[in-house]
Amino acid sequence: MTERTDARRDPQAERAAFPFPARFPANLDIKAGVIVHDAEAYATRRGQIKVTFRIRTPRSPAQPPKFDREGRPLPWDFFQVVAYGERWLSYLPRLTRGRKVLVLGWTQSRDLPDGRGAVETVAEQIFISDSGFLEPSVPEPTEASFRPPQEE
């Protein structure tokens, strides 16, 4: 057998050919939604800055339905987003209710002191819509902006 054939049969050699980026291992979380409440900043027990907010995303029709306490169908899923570090303090004025965001990060689950569990998206990057509140990020074409080609 040649070395090449041996490498193909070795599972470790196959795994080494597809390394994940160190910053985003297999736990990659991407959320696009609308901010439900204005973001808030806190200091953690270790003194680190933590910015947190909730977003809502539309539910896919392919997902099983969810209902509220009164039995009404819920068209949204809600997710907690956290971002650690002082750099996120400059984002606070723009992380406001109704603003569209795209969050890239990873999922974290942890136990709370009262025995409950929490699952949240830890943001590495946050893209905020600057086109306004609940407006499309690409403006709709107007008659003046679209003209069909003229025949000569």
Q: What's the confidence (pLDDT) of residue 142?
A: 43
Return d(Cα 140, Cα 127) in angstroms, integer.
Answer: 21
- pLDDT per residue as tens digits for the range 99-110: 999 999 999 988
Return d(Cα 126, Cα 79) in angstroms, integer.
Answer: 14
Using an 8 Å Cβ cutoff, are 99 and 129 in contact? Answer: yes
- pLDDT per residue as tens digits for the range 79-131: 999 999 999 999 999 999 999 999 999 999 888 889 999 899 999 999 998 76
Q: What's the confidence (pLDDT) of residue 147?
A: 42
Q: What's the confidence (pLDDT) of residue 15?
A: 47
On whether the pTM is more than 0.85, the answer is no
